[in-house]
Structure 1
Amino acid sequence: MLVSWLHLKYFSPHALRANGSQPNIRILSLNSSWHKTSSQNLVKLIQQQQPDIICLQEIVRRHTEKAFPRLQTSYPYQVYAQSVAILSKYPILFSENLHLAGHQEIQQRAITQINQQDVVVYNIQVISPWIRPHKILPFLTIPIYDYTKRSAEIQDLVQRLQKETKPFIVVGDFNMTDQSQDYHYLRTVMQDSFQTSGLGFGFTWPHGWELSFLIKNSTSKLNYPLFRIDYIGYSKHWGSHSSKVLLTTGSDHLPVEAELIYLKSG
């Protein structure tokens, strides 16, 4: 029964077949992990994959100063703010910075025009949960897995998506697995491209972590990620033709890419 469930959930994709007449769009998302992704590796990834829209998280100044100008010809529409960026082959008609749940972290919402159709793109990175000390008695403190801030941001995002009337795409580092309550809450308003058309577990993090924090004096690295926390989601106006995890750029997150087909009828 377990093998059957694993096969149906992770190894039986239900990709939408393109008929040639339906518009399609390729989306790429990467958490660059600050300085871990070089400008050269970022440009190489994008030039190899040639997506239509790129959503980046945890970028640094050298990305905007060195990588983005090299991509200007292919991606003339670029909006970025501090740690996040959207690069697009299609016109960006409007963009704004978001602060989900009123937190200081920045997310993005942009409206692009694809084949005369306005499409809303969300570039998201939510606060990562972690093990934190929690005092339950004046003399007793215990470690707990604290995800309250992430949950507040996810709830804010869900409420925003519920109000969207245009086709939308939601991309980014959500710092949650597909087994979490926040994931299932988000799935009430969007589809998950990898779950629909991906093959396998789709793990994206943590890639390349040194194991010295677990094994003393170890020089080994964790080169196979253990969790899927990076997602490409979409509204009912789309179907997912393909979704995959790409090779490393040096970041501890692996890039994810999806090809979506516009259904028109929604």
Structure 2
Amino acid sequence: MIRLVDIIMRIITIVAMIGLLGSYTAPYVDPNVFYPSSLLGLAYHYLLVANIILLIYWIARWKKMAFLSLIIIASGYPLITTYYGLNPESTPDTPHDLTLMTYNIRMLDAYGWSREKDAPKRIVDYINDSDNDIVCMQEFPRREASSKKFPSYPYYHKNKDVTLISRYPIVNKGDITFEKGNSATCLYCDIAVGKDTIRVYAVHLESYRLGKNEEQIYKELTSGNTQHATEGVKNISSRLVRANRNRAKQAITIKQHMQQSPYPVIICGDFNDTPISFAYHTLSSDMKDSFIEKGRGLGNTYVGEFPSFRIDHILHAPTLRTVSYIRDTVKYSDHYPVQSKLKFR
């Protein structure tokens, strides 16, 4: 009986190993060329947990399979640091030159998702009280005027659902356009910070556009109800693949624009993608990730109906240094706000 269990567990382990190895390829494979890698990348931390559990099993059984399992898990260690920060706690009063926050404010709770009547005011007050120099917001109501809600930020630029507000002068600004049918938004501002000038890109990349139907399917699947499993998984998978492909193109377009910048670059916002993705890898190449530099603990930033991931990012040029990184766990939206203090090298 034990031998049969070992055979079954060996098969499961091999499948889990192949899945984990496949997820390692996600940052390097354009989903427009081969999309399965992007789906495995999305499942990375589930695959990692499964492999760790199987590793414990093989250690307990004192089998050689444990060594192979350990090697495969260890080979992906750099990816683990993108999900869990191992940095020491930052000192609050460390000298810095710039503070920046990115926050998906979910239309200022326009449709009452939070079920709290004062949610819009709480979001606005939170941003005003945060004392950041630059704030990038996604899902900002298109008809709202940022100058009225954030009077201490006299400089701003808005494009569709993305708004950037700043205490420092914006000396130049513009927008990046994408292919027809894409729902992404990207704006940029050249901002004078003392004697230096930086270019800040605020982005909201393509979302999965998962609605109530997909939410219901997801709840049924996680509760063990597989009556509509085939149709539901097919529908959700097609949306995931389409969004992954669009974000890959958007990331390439933005990166090409970034490479022409005459100033040090910061790019932040809701990427709608994890660090184990082609879009993130494209945008973060030759850049520093504030979470990896100074993040501590779990880095998930999405807290909505679907599984939680780190999809809100602050990336910056190597000529800047991250002094501190904070993911504040206030639940005024379906995203946590992310803040970073930066210093010129």
Fold agreement, TM-score > 0.5: yes
Do the aligned residues in 1 keep the contact of 2:85 with 2:291 (CA within 8 Å)?
no
Q: Which runs of 5+ in 1 are unaligned?
A: 133-140, 210-221
Out of 178, 189, 208, the position equivalent to 1:110 is 189
Q: Contact conserved, 2:98 with 2:341, CA < 8 A, in 1?
A: yes
- After superposition, the C-alpha distances for 1:108-152 in whole angstroms (9 at most, x for unaligned) are 1111100121110100011024689xxxxxxxx884431110110
CA distance in 2, matches of 1:183, 1:7: 12
Task: Decide whether the 8 Å contact of 1:162 with 1:189 is kept in 2.
Answer: no
TM-score scaled by structure 2?
A: 0.61
Shift of 1:250: 2.2
Which residue identity does 2:335 align to in structure 1? H
Q: 1:12 aligns with which of 63, 67, 86?
A: 86
Is the 2:85–2:299 Cα contact (8 Å) retained in structure 1?
no
Deviates more, 1:49-58 or 1:30-39: 30-39
Give the Å deviation of 1:49: 1.6
1:227 aligns with 2:309: yes
Aligned to 2:123: 42
1:59 aligned partner: 140
CA contact (8 A) 2:99 2:339 kept: yes
How far apart are the structure 1 equivalents of 2:260 and 2:87?
A: 29
Tell me the equivalent position of 2:322. Answer: 240
- The residue type equivalent to 1:245 in the other structure is R
One-letter identity of the residue aligned with 1:98? I
| CA offset digits 1:77-124 (Å, max 9, x no partner) | 122233111110000111112214564643211111001211101000
Match of 2:251 in 1: 154
Aligned counterparts of 2:90 and 2:281: Cα–Cα separation in 1: 22
Cα distance in structure 2, aligned partners of 1:18 and 1:179? 30
| CA drift at 1:62 | 6.2
SS in 2 for 1:163: coil
Q: Residues 185 and 62 (structure 1 numbering): CA distance in 2 closer, same or farther, change over 3 Å?
A: closer
Identity %: 25
Aligned residue number for residue 214 of structure 1: none
CA, structure 1 residues 11+188, in 2 after alignment: closer, same or farther (shift >3 Å)? closer
Could you say if the C-alpha distance between residues 75 and 33 of structure 1 is closer, same or farther in structure 2, counting changes exceeding 3 Å?
same
1:27 and 1:257 in contact (8 A); partners too: yes
8 Å contact from structure 1 (residues 238, 260) kept in 2: yes
**TM-score, normalising length: structure 1:** 0.77
Task: Report the structure number with the largest CA radius of gyration.
Answer: 2
Q: Equivalent residue of 1:69, what SS?
A: helix
Return the structure number with greater strand share.
Answer: 1
Partner of 1:253: helix, strand, or coil?
A: coil
1:123 maps to 2:202: yes
Instruction: For residue 150 of structure 1, give the secondary structure of its aligned residue in structure 2.
Output: helix
* 1:24-39 equivalences in 2 (<5 Å): 24-36=97-109, 38-39=119-120
Deviations 1:162-197 (A, max 9, x none): 222311110100011111232222221321101110
